[in-house]
Chain A
Amino acid sequence: MTDAPEQDAAHPVVGLDDVVHQRVRLGILTVAHEARRVEFGYLRTQLDLTAGNLSKHLSVLEEGGLIEVEKGYEGRRGRTWITLTGAGTTALADEIRRLKLLITRVEATVAGEDPAGR
């Protein structure tokens, strides 16, 4: 994903990242971004997921280098903390930007206009 002008002129859908453009994973990135650092249990509650399901999505994001997972203990209780990486922050910002562009396109199409002026 680049910010090259020729790509910006293309439909915003072209640049969507499959790893990020998914409801749960987008939710994970959003929560991690806002929270700075988020605990596994908090994510599970907020996104209303099972532990297994959440783990799968976290693995996808970790493999993509978008988050860092840190496991530790607080007392006897094991806790897993998730932090957004720099690449994760960029990917989230890019996804939001493309979603906004997509909305603008859809609205323009509904209104019978071509936002690119073509």
Chain B
Amino acid sequence: MTTDTASVGGDPRRLLSDVRALAHRVRLDQRMTWAALLVLAAATLVAIPFDWFGMRVDCRPDGGCTYARRGMLFYWPAAMVLAYATIAVLYVRAARARGVGARVLPYAITGAATTVVFPAAWLAVNLYFRSNPYPDQPLPYWFFVLDRLVMPWGMIGVALLVLAWLERNTALALFTGGYLALVLLVLPMSDGFGPPHFGIRAGMAVPQLIVGAVLLLGAAGFALADRRRRRTP
């Protein structure tokens, strides 16, 4: 940009392209994608012992077992609120230090709002099966996808989509797409890996470990890309 007054017959195309380039640079400076993913990875990994030790498992003499993941129910609502508050603070502080405002608030609010989805769904399912018999036939596939979506890991993905939209961040949108495919379609987030390789607790812990690792790898990737960009003049 120069200090010349743009002449009327000048180059509007160049002016517009300058405006777009400036806007893009500001958006890049407002991003702290790696920090958001790091906090969410930490929340996911810390959840594992809560789930492990908070799980109530009742095994019958015939070998069949029932379980209740009480630890998750108590851990995630508090952890989500804390995680999104931490992300918001980190974003605002970093943006302020760089000299710009932050656009993270809608993401933090969406994230915190998703906190209620998991306990609400858990309560709804419990109330339903109290007065309705459990179906004899296998449940449809969409039920499992929906079940995984309302779980904390699905909600993390939904909130990340909001962040990608706020930041006009294509890389994050692609990462989140892959992440959601993993937690909704690939990993058994709600019922865990079964025997003979895993017991109930370990079978539940492994998918969470994979999700935590994926978020951690994402954080490392975005941090590296951010660092590389800042080094490039």
Residues of A within 8 A of B15 (CB): 23, 26, 99
Query: Does B69 count as interface, using CB distance less than 8 angstroms?
Result: no
Interface residues on A, range: 20 to 34
Query: Does B124 count as interface, using CB distance less than 8 angstroms?
Result: no
In whole Å, how far is A20's beta carbon from the nearest beta carbon of chain B? 10
Given A13-B8, A21-B6, A106-B12, residue A27 in contact with residue B99 (CB < 8 A): no
Contact assessment for A27 and B1 in the assembled complex, using a CB-CB cutoff below 8 Å: yes
Query: Does B231 count as interface, using CB distance less than 8 angstroms?
Result: no
Query: Does B137 count as interface, using CB distance less than 8 angstroms?
Result: no
Query: Does A87 count as interface, using CB distance less than 8 angstroms?
Result: no
Q: Interface of chain A, helix or strand or loop or mixed?
A: helix
- Write the A13-50 contact mask toward B (1 if CB under 8 angstroms, else 0): 10010100111101100110111111111110011110
Most central of B18, B19, B98 by chain A CB within 10 Å: B19
Complex Cα spacing A101 to B4, Å: 22
Q: Kindly identify, within residues 65 to 121 of chain B, every residue whose CB is under 8 Å from any CB belonging to chain A.
A: 98-103
Complex Cα spacing A41 to B102, Å: 17
Contact assessment for A99 and B12 in the assembled complex, using a CB-CB cutoff below 8 Å: yes
Known: A27-B1, A37-B100. 13 other contacts (CB 8 A): A23-B4, A23-B5, A27-B18, A27-B22, A31-B22, A35-B101, A36-B100, A38-B100, A42-B98, A48-B1, A49-B1, A96-B16, A100-B12
Q: What is B's interface to A at a CB cutoff of 8 Å?
A: 1-6, 8, 12-13, 15-16, 18-19, 22-23, 25-27, 29-30, 98-103
Q: What is A's interface to B at a CB cutoff of 8 Å?
A: 13, 16, 18, 21-24, 26-27, 30-31, 33-43, 46-49, 53, 57, 96, 99-100, 102-103, 106
- Ordered by A's residue number, 28 sampled pairs between the chains whose C-beta atoms are within 8 Å are A13-B8, A22-B5, A22-B6, A23-B1, A23-B3, A23-B6, A24-B3, A26-B6, A26-B15, A26-B19, A27-B22, A30-B23, A33-B23, A35-B29, A35-B101, A36-B100, A37-B101, A42-B98, A43-B99, A46-B22, A46-B26, A47-B1, A49-B1, A96-B16, A96-B19, A99-B15, A102-B12, A103-B16
